[in-house]
């Protein structure tokens, strides 16, 4: 994402409309996650019973996690209309708490923090959904540098929430009490035709970073 393409919305209704438009535009042609990332997570967290993924579009995250964590309950959220036709997906706004999910999950994974209209609300919600000892895994596009990640955040709704990676780390550790466990470079990936639809194109190079935070 370039510096001139900051995600900005005048209000919540515009945000939902934009997410629906993006879903329809990309759901059959793009994937934001590769099996390689999930394999890296499995190396670090060998076992998990409950796994939640946020902002999953066509649900490839769930498929990869389910294939690696046999027997685990895997759920993905997506705000866009029509998402529930994909396995293991529920239509839900990732910013909003869901009572039955509080304190439940061993792993929460997302690569769409740059889509959050309310960054602090999203982080509070995700942290609250972790079980004790559970890990929040966030994959960041563009690495960690303040100038790089700032181009991914919503500053129009609230100029004070001009988030970059350092802000996320400070919020999770200093305000919510999480432990930052590890940071690693996300592996590059090409579409995996054993799970990705054959129309999926693209993939990502090695410019992304994955961060693991643990709830004590």
Taking only the tens place, the pLDDT of each residue in 119-177 is 889 999 999 999 999 999 998 865 444 433 333 344 444 444 445 677 788 899 999 99
Residues 85 and 97: beta-carbon distance below 8 Å = no
Q: Measured between alpha carbons, how far is 42 from 171 in angstroms, rounded to an integer?
A: 26
Residue 213: its H or E element = strand 209-214
Strands (E) across 60-203 are located at 73-78, 89-91, 105-110, 130-140, 179-185
Torsion angles phi and psi, residue 136, rounded to 5: -95, 120
The tally of CA atoms less than 13 A away on the side-chain side of residue 196 is 20
Tens-digit pLDDT string for the chain (216 aa):
223 233 567 788 989 999 999 999 988 877 778 888 899 999 999 999 999 999 999 999 999 999 999 999 999 999 999 999 999 999 999 999 999 999 999 999 999 888 888 888 999 999 999 999 999 999 886 544 443 333 334 444 444 444 567 778 889 999 999 999 988 888 766 555 555 554 444 455 556 788 999 999
143-158 per-position pLDDT tens digit: 444 433 333 344 444 4
12-214 classified as CATH 3.40.50.150: yes
What is the gyration radius of the CA atoms in the chain, in angstroms?
Answer: 16
Contact (CB, 8 A) for 53 and 90: no
Distance CA 179, CA 198 (A): 39
Which H or E run contains 209? strand 209-214
Q: Identify the H or E element spanning 214.
A: strand 209-214
């Amino acid at each position: 994402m370039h510096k001139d393409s900051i995600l900005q919305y005048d209000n919540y209704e515009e945000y939902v409309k934009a997410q629906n438009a993006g879903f329809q535009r990309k759901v059959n042609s793009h994937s934001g996650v590769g099996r390689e990332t999930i394999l890296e997570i499995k190396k670090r967290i060998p076992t998990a019973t409950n796994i939640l993924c946020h902002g999953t579009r066509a649900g490839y995250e769930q498929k990869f996690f389910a294939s690696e964590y046999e027997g685990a309950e895997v759920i993905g959220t997506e705000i866009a209309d029509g998402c529930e036709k994909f396995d293991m997906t529920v239509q839900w706004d990732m910013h909003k708490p869901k009572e039955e999910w509080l304190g439940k999950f061993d792993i929460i994974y997302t690569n769409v923090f740059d889509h959050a209209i309310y960054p602090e609300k999203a982080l509070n919600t995700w942290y609250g959904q972790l079980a004790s000892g559970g890990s929040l895994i966030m994959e960041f596009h563009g690495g960690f540098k303040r100038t790089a990640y700032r181009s991914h955040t919503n500053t129009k709704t609230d100029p004070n929430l001009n988030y970059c990676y350092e802000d996320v780390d400070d919020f999770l550790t200093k305000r919510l009490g999480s432990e930052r466990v590890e940071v690693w470079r996300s592996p590059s990936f090409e579409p995996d035709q054993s799970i990705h639809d054959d129309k999926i194109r693209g993939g990502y190079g090695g410019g992304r970073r994955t961060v693991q935070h643990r709830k004590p």
